[in-house]
Amino acid sequence: MLIYVFAAEGFAASSRLTSDDLQAQLIATTINHAFALVAVVSVAMNISGGHINPAVTFGGFLGGHITLCRSVLYWIAQLFGSVVACLLLKYSVVSVKISPFAPAPCSVVVFEIVTTFGLVYTIYATSIDPKRSNSGMIIAPIAIGFIVGANILSGGAFYGAAMNPAAIFGQAMVSWTWTNHWVY
DSSP string, 32-63: HHHHHHHHHHHHHHHHHSS---HHHHHHHHHT
Helices (H) and strands (E) in the chain, counts: 7, 0
pLDDT digits (tens, 9 = 90+) for 85-110: 888 887 787 544 433 445 788 888 88
Residue 74 belongs to domain spanning: 2-183
CA dist., res. 14 & res. 160, Å (int): 11
Region 142-159: mean pLDDT is: 83
Which residues does 103 contact at the CB level (< 8 Å), separation at least 6?
Answer: 92, 93, 95, 96, 111, 158, 159
CA dist., res. 73 & res. 92, Å (int): 28
Number of domains in the chain: 1
pLDDT digits (tens, 9 = 90+) for 2-39: 888 888 778 877 777 777 887 787 788 778 888 888 88
pLDDT digits (tens, 9 = 90+) for 122-139: 888 887 777 777 776 678
Region 57-64: mean pLDDT is: 86
